[in-house]
Structure 1
Amino acid sequence: MAPFFQGLWESIFTPGPTPTLLVATNATFAALQVILAALVFATYSLHFVVLSVLSASLWAAINWFARELKEHQLQEEEKARRALAARPPSATSADDSETEVEATKSTASLRKGPPGPASVARAVAASSEVEPAETQGELKLRVVEEVQSPSQGHKSGVSTEDEWEKVSENENEKDR
């Protein structure tokens, strides 16, 4: 039972529907349907019938989506295999920026299937080896010139609270 939960935990971080995740989803929906059926027979309530229909619809939609996604992935892999087989190994186009090592890695990853936690960890470790970009200059603070105009009135450079205090002072003077 422990390997199942470990696989379930790892499948959360793996893109796409994994077999472990689909088993857990189907088991959960089956348990929900059993509980809703028991509640329908215990209460004869129409609400539980509606909930059961909604739950069954969602269950069917999730399984349909998982099947469609799997078919799409198989089609994409087949297209990639055909494109790889159609391209001669010695011919490279001018637009192809992949090196021979990268091309070998990508074809190997196509054969293996979806990446596992170990390959993701290797990719993260490889990406952390990149050097940070150099700073190109220092930041300079701009000096704002205060220009008094009749429309602006007195401008406060400290905070908005000062402005509100001035507004309230002006209102107090008007009331007097």
Structure 2
Amino acid sequence: MASFVEDLWSSIFTPGPTPTLLIATNVAFAALQAIFFALLLATYSLHFVALSIISGGLWYSINWFAAEVKLAQQAQEAEKEKEKLEKPRLPDTDSETETEAVKEVKATVTGSSTHLHPEGDSKKRPTTGGDGSGYGSTDSEWEKVDDQ
């Protein structure tokens, strides 16, 4: 029982439907259906029939969705394997890789906006003379007021 609870706790942080999480979900919905049936027998209220139907539909849809996610994951894994087999192996060379070719980006923060400039890029955009967001107040305007 303790290992099931530990598996359930770790499955919460695992993407996708795990078997432990599906078991816990199915047990909870089965218990809910049993409670609705007991309440129906105790009160003869048709509300519990309606709630049972709604709960059963949700139970079915959760299991259907989990099965679809599992199929999508299997298809994705098969596609990765297919790409891995089709991709030719290149010998290791000392040539530049994509990550080495990426230029560093320098961030310039002015007022209320941030501008990104690749390092070594001497081109600068002309300023429009104001904040282009349509928002009238900036921190620099408050500094101007404080200076006066």
TM value normalised by structure 1: 0.54
Which consecutive unaligned segments of at least 5 residues does structure 1 have? 100-133, 146-156, 158-176
Alpha-carbon distance in 2 for matches of 1:19, 1:58: 18
Alpha-carbon distance in 1 for matches of 2:18, 2:48: 31
Q: Which has the higher strand share?
A: 2
Q: Which has the higher helix share?
A: 1
Q: Which residue of 2 aligns with 1:14?
A: 14
Q: Which residue of 1 aligns with 2:116?
A: none
Alpha-carbon distance in 1 for matches of 2:10, 2:47: 36
Q: Which residue of 2 aligns with 1:53?
A: 53
TM value normalised by structure 2: 0.64
Quote the offset at 1:135 in angstroms. Answer: 9.5
- In structure 2, relative to structure 1, the CA distance for the partners of 1:77 and 1:53 (3 Å cut) is same
Alpha-carbon distance in 1 for matches of 2:84, 2:10: 31
Alpha-carbon distance in 2 for matches of 1:8, 1:98: 39
Alpha-carbon distance in 2 for matches of 1:5, 1:12: 11
Aligned residues: 110
Alpha-carbon distance in 1 for matches of 2:67, 2:99: 32
Which consecutive unaligned segments of at least 5 residues does structure 2 have? 101-105, 112-139
Equivalent AA in structure 1 for residue 34 of structure 2:
V
- In structure 2, relative to structure 1, the CA distance for the partners of 1:87 and 1:22 (3 Å cut) is same
Larger Rg: 1
Q: Which residue of 2 aligns with 1:86?
A: 86
Quote the offset at 1:97 in angstroms. Answer: 3.6
Provide the alpha-carbon RMSD of the alignment.
3.2
Alpha-carbon distance in 2 for matches of 1:6, 1:77: 27
Q: After the TM superposition, list the runs of 4 or more consecutive aligned residues in structure 1 that deviate by more than 4 angstroms.
A: 134-137
Amino-acid identity (%): 48
